[in-house]
Structure 1
Amino acid sequence: MGLHECQGYVEREEGFSSPQILFCTKGSGTLIVDGRRYRILAHMAIFLPENVPHKYYPNEDVWDIHWVVPGGSALPALLQHFQMTEPAVYKLAKTTRLETIFRSMHEALHSGDIMGNYRCAGYLYEFLLEFYRLITLKESGNYYSPALHKALDYINQHYLENVTMEDLCGVSNVSKQHLCHLFRKSLHMRPMEYITRKRLQTAKEMLSTTDYSIEKIAEDTGFCTASYFCKNFKRLEGITAGEFRKNNT
């Protein structure tokens, strides 16, 4: 990942080896992909799948481009779920939160310690969710509702504890049905699924950096039992917790 205050000329006749997400915060440039030419302005974003020929260049002295090249075994399924499989250009209603997450990723990645890499991985998931939310907004420009903001803030602070739907409804002051609707509309998952994914990110960090038993990790990350933890880990990561530990220790 990185940023260029004035992105230079880039041409890749065979594309890039990994998917790319780029977004512009200032200035203008041109993208040519699939035989089409796009003018990229501030608050616009680009998605480029792997191995797709393309080129882009600035139209003026300033073209501020932020770029992220995500990776990992779960990425293809996530992009498929988000229907991000073809080159695309998007108009983003607002990039403030996207930039904030980007800065957090950048700081974590350049912190110089192994934990920074794991923190960056956690921020990357937030970044992808926010990017997907922005590109699926309707032209009316709806953002997270205040109720959803409150629920997400509560989850981010308490996800390692026993968070219930009653807790989330209490802090957001909406019904269970409406809260589930808000999560599905903006994040395309239920509240408990979001919590599970947050917990698994912490569990992956513990599997990679400690020798704690699966039972202890399950307990420390808020899962009821080791079997429930292992079931969810395999379902969402595609491999067992033990296999992940073996590959990432």
Structure 2
Amino acid sequence: MVQPSFPIVTESDSRLPLYLTSIGHWEYQERTRRPGGFPDYQWLQAISGTGELEVDGTRRQVKPGQGFFLLPNETHVYYPTSEPWGLHWIAFNGSLMPSWMNHSGIRRSGVYALSDPDSLIAQMKAIYAMSLTGRPFLGAECSKLLYALLLDLSRNAKTGSSSSPRHDQKLQPVIRFIEDNCHRVLSIDEMAARIGVSAQYLCHLFKRVFQLRPMEYVNRERINRSKELMLNEPQLKLREVAHRVGFDSPSYFSSVFKKIVGMSPEQFRGRRFDNGFRIH
């Protein structure tokens, strides 16, 4: 068993858009029953054995390559069905969570398959190591790592109920193409050509897998990149952020950002300057 970490959440930390409340790893997860739920959001990811989650009137198996998301204060039970059931877990909160859930498609408690589970485990290990350092501005440093984890969880978790592995796999060259080129002008025809289909059929695939049109997906990827830039390079002017993530018009960037995130870029950036505090 790895000793769990419960970092002190200061008043300043609690004003961050995201903040860590606890993190750890159980090699032998035992039965956990919470009639009143847990006060924070949780992500738990299986690395060995199998278990089951009971939440919202459903029961789902959880095995390696899968994880489960739990909303605050929601009744749940999880337990091993073959041992050892090993879990990495992280608990967190913050004002950014509602907009993150809306963007990611992870809007309810439940089990999610993952396209790259190892990368998420590596990030949780990095957050755990950071939480033990006691360094200055620890809450902010953990917040930065937590934000990166949630961005990757958005991309990793398979949330489309009507999607299939076959459709997911077919779109992978397009997804990689978008990730490599979303900083420039992209057309639907150009994306469709990557997998040899018509623009109309590409739209059908995106709607089936992501419940989004291709350009909506592109814009969400651009907005994710813009948030990373604002977090990691706070000195950049917003027009430069817009240009670097593929928006020719700063006003259109602001409009798309507010539609997806629920606040303007200025408001999003301003939340990182709360109480005279800056993330370096």
What TM-score do you get using the length of structure 2 for normalisation?
0.69
Q: 1:153 to 1:117 in 2, by over 3 A?
A: farther
RMSD: 3.5
Map 1:23-102 → 2, pairs under 5 A: 23-31=45-53, 33=55, 38=59, 40-42=61-63, 46-67=68-89, 69=91, 71=93, 73-76=95-98, 79=101, 82=105, 84-85=107-108, 87-88=109-110, 95=114, 97-102=115-120
Q: 1:220 to 1:10 in 2, by over 3 A?
A: same
Match of 1:156 among 179, 186, 191: 179
Match of 2:123 among 105, 108, 130: 105
Unaligned runs of 5+ in 1: none
Q: Residues 226 and 245 of structure 2 are in contact (CA less than 8 Å); yes or no, is this contact kept in structure 1?
A: yes
Query: What are the superposed Cα offsets for residues 9-41 of structure 1, whole Å, 9 maximum, x if unpaired?
Result: 43434211233343435323454556x795745
Q: 1:31 to 1:119 in 2, by over 3 A?
A: closer
Match of 1:211 among 232, 235, 246: 235
In 2, the alpha carbon distance for the partners of 1:242 and 1:29 equals 44
Q: 1:118 to 1:192 in 2, by over 3 A?
A: farther
Q: Percent identity?
A: 26
> What amino acid maps onto 1:105 in structure 2?
Q
Query: What are the superposed Cα offsets for residues 132-160 of structure 1, whole Å, 9 maximum, x if unpaired?
Result: 43x6257x7545142x1111011111111
SS of equivalent residue, structure 2 residue 72: coil
User: Alignment length, in residue pairs?
Assistant: 240
In 2, the alpha carbon distance for the partners of 1:80 and 1:158 equals 24
Q: 1:173 to 1:131 in 2, by over 3 A?
A: same
Map 1:161-176 → 2, pairs under 5 A: 161-176=184-199
Residue 131 of structure 1 is matched in structure 2 by 157
In 1, the alpha carbon distance for the partners of 2:230 and 2:248 equals 18
User: CA shift at 1:204, angstroms?
Assistant: 1.7
Q: Residues 109 and 117 of structure 1 are in contact (CA less than 8 Å); yes or no, is this contact kept in structure 2?
A: no
Q: Residues 177 and 191 of structure 2 are in contact (CA less than 8 Å); yes or no, is this contact kept in structure 1?
A: yes
Unaligned runs of 5+ in 2: 1-22, 131-137, 274-280
In 2, the alpha carbon distance for the partners of 1:130 and 1:159 equals 18
SS of equivalent residue, structure 1 residue 218: helix
Deviates more, 1:3-12 or 1:163-172: 3-12
Deviates more, 1:38-47 or 1:156-165: 38-47
In 2, the alpha carbon distance for the partners of 1:141 and 1:162 equals 29
Deviates more, 1:11-20 or 1:114-123: 114-123
Residue 236 of structure 1 is matched in structure 2 by 260
The structure, 1 or 2, with the larger RCO (C-alpha pairs under 8 Å, 6+ apart) is: 2
> What amino acid maps onto 1:226 in structure 2?
P
Q: Residues 242 and 249 of structure 2 are in contact (CA less than 8 Å); yes or no, is this contact kept in structure 1?
A: yes
Q: 1:102 to 1:47 in 2, by over 3 A?
A: same
